A = this chain, B = another copy of it.
């Protein structure tokens, strides 16, 4: 298997949900979602093969952003919404 790099399998890079600002929090939401996929499917060839399918399907893109929105809700709460 052509395994994704170990760095892509870290659950929470940096080990914390606390970020300096909302943009960094949003970036972390994307990272959490991506690493979650990688932990379920660590075979890079399978991931690359699936990319043309989901990245050109509006419904898949919408579903992916739903995951990001859910992760972001947690991160934003963790940071008291960077108020």
Number of copies of this protein chain within its complex: 6
Question: Count the A residues whose beta carbon is within 8 Å of the partner chain — how many?
Answer: 53
Is chain A's interface secondary structure helix, strand, loop, or mixed overall? Answer: helix
Q: Which of chain B's residues have a CB closer than 8 A to the CB of A73?
A: 70, 73-74
CA distance A44 to B70 in the complex (A): 25
Among B53, B71, B81, contact of A17 (Cβ-Cβ < 8 Å): B81
**A55-79, CB < 8 A from B:** 55-74, 76-78
The distance in angstroms between the C-alpha atoms of A27 and B11, with both chains bound, is 7
Is B53 a contact of A46 with CB atoms below 8 Å?
A: no
Provide the bound-state CA to CA distance between A10 and B77, in Å: 21
- Alpha-carbon separation in the docked complex, A37 to B68 (Å): 10
Would you call B72 and A83 a contact (CB within 8 A)? no
